Structure formats: structure tokens, C-alpha cells
């Protein structure tokens, strides 16, 4: 059954009025267009993701959204990893911004989602030269999957760091994964607590990491 985007709600109950005001103020800083491209199935969580993305996209004229079924655009499926749905990728005029979210980034993760939009919209605070130098030391392709729970403060900070590294270094991609939605992933990586970072699909790293710790780890791969 094809998606029917016109039936998705324009607003999400996860974004209360106060939060909407805060996000609107933050997103007013965007200076470049950003597209939220979602790959969705017919499940309840996909519907919730669509409402969330619709609501966010309505908070800035620089934001737009697009909803796709699995297989409708194979390039998008590959970029955002459509094996874990719902999936939302951050796109710019140059293409995939190497940042994606699997599950609705509510709770603490709304901070990371806003950070990804600021990165892609050329509105994030500049990094200092030592940090940029450390990010530049990553010389091999790496996929970062940060498995989180939406109530975890350390998770949100790690997601933001991973996304910023991905935005600054074209060899890196960063995916936030709400572990509660994917029991098969929990079993595969034996996730007992979060955050848990999976590198290139095989190396697991438990616990939070600072930006410096993360870049050091990635540079050694």
C-alpha cells in the first residue's frame, strides 16, 4: 500500500507549545535549505515520525520534508539505512548530510535533532581549530550507529558529537537509533545499557564519549 502523506497530521503531540517556541527561535538561525527525507512503512511509529517531521518542517521556511516508501528511492534507502524503519535523513542541496535518525528523536534526543538541522543549515557554532584538526585525522570511512534511549542525557550528547563529526568529515556517517524500537538489534549487539556505539556494524563501544574521545577512537580505526 503506498504512503498517503496528505493524511499525516501537521503537528505532533510530542512538541508542546513551549517546546515549539524554543525550536522556532533556534531554527530561525538556519541560513540554508534543509530537507527531512523520511522512509516509512505503514506502522504506528512511522505515522508518529511523519507527524513529528511535519511539525518540525513547519517551524522554519528553510525546512521541507519528503515521505517515501521503502524501495521508492533506492539511493535514499541506502543512505539512511532503510533496514531500520522509520528512518529520517538530513539532506541539503548537496545531497545526504550523513546524519540520520531511526525512531522519533523526542525526549532528550530533540536536542540532537535540532543540532543536526543547525549543522545542515549552516547555523551551528564553529568548532575550535584543535577539534577540527582531530576530526580531520579520521582517514577511513566509518559508519557510527549510536543506540540510545530517549530519556538518556549522555546519549543525546554522544549523538550530537557523532553528527558533528559526520558533518565535518565526509568519510563519516552518524545514525541515531532508538534501541527500544528494534529488539533484533538489541539481541544482535547484546545491548544492556545505553549509549552503545556500533562502528562499521561490528565494533561496539559502551558508554558516553566526549568529542575528543570519539575523534581519537575513530582516527584509530
Query: pLDDT, tens digit, for every residue of 123-151?
Result: 999 999 999 999 999 999 999 999 998 88
> Can you give the pTM of this predicted structure?
0.94
The whole-number average pLDDT for the span 146-160 is: 89
C-alpha 95/C-alpha 173 separation (Å) is 13
Average pLDDT, the chain: 94
- Which residues constitute the domain of residue 154? 5-219
For helices 110-120 and 153-168, what crossing angle results, to 10°? 10
Query: pLDDT, tens digit, for every residue of 97-127?
Result: 999 999 998 888 898 999 999 999 999 999 9
Res. 208 pLDDT band, cuts 50 70 90:
very high
The three grid cell numbers given for residue 132, joined into one nine-digit string: 577540527
CATH number, domain with residue 126: 3.40.30.80
Scan for cell 529520517, then name that residue: 88
Report the DSSP beta bridge partners of residue 62.
none
Which regions of the chain does DSSP assign to beta strands (E)? 34-39, 63-68, 87-92, 95-102, 142-148, 172-178, 196-199, 203-206
What's the number of domains the chain is made of? Answer: 1
Amino acid at each position: 500500500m503506498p504512503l498517503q502523506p496528505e493524511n499525516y497530521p501537521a503537528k505532533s503531540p510530542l512538541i508542546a507549545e513551549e517546546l515549539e517556541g524554543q525550536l522556532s527561535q533556534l531554527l530561525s538561525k538556519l541560513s540554508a535549505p534543509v530537507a527531512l527525507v523520511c522512509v516509512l512503512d505503514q506502522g504506528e511509529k512511522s505515522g508518529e515520525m511523519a507527524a513529528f517531521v511535519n511539525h518540525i518542517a513547519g517551524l522554519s521556511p528553510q525546512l521541507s520534508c519528503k515521505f517515501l516508501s521503502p524501495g521508492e528511492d533506492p539511493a535514499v534507502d541506502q543512505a539512511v539505512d532503510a533496514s531500520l524503519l522509520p528512518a529520517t535523513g538530513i539532506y541539503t542541496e548537496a545531497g545526504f548530510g550523513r546524519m540520520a535518525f531511526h525512531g522519533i528523536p523526542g525526549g532528550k534526543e530533540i536536542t540532537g535533532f535540532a543540532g543536526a538541522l543547525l549543522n545542515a543549515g549552516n547555523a551551528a557554532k564553529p568548532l575550535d581549530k584543535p577539534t577540527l584538526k582531530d576530526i580531520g585525522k579520521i582517514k577511513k570511512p566509518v559508519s557510527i550507529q549510536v543506540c540510545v534511549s530517549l530519556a538518556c542525557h549522555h546519549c543525546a550528547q554522544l549523538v550530537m558529537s557523532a553528527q558533528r563529526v559526520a558533518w565535518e568529515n565526509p568519510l563519516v556517517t552518524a545514525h541515531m537509533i532508538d534501541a527500544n524500537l528494534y529488539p533484533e538489534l538489541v539481541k544482535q549487539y547484546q545491548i544492556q545499557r545505553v549509549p552503545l556505539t556500533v562502528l562499521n556494524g561490528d565494533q561496539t563501544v559502551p558508554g558516553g564519549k566526549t568529542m575528543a574521545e570519539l575523534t581519537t577512537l575513530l582516527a584509530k580505526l
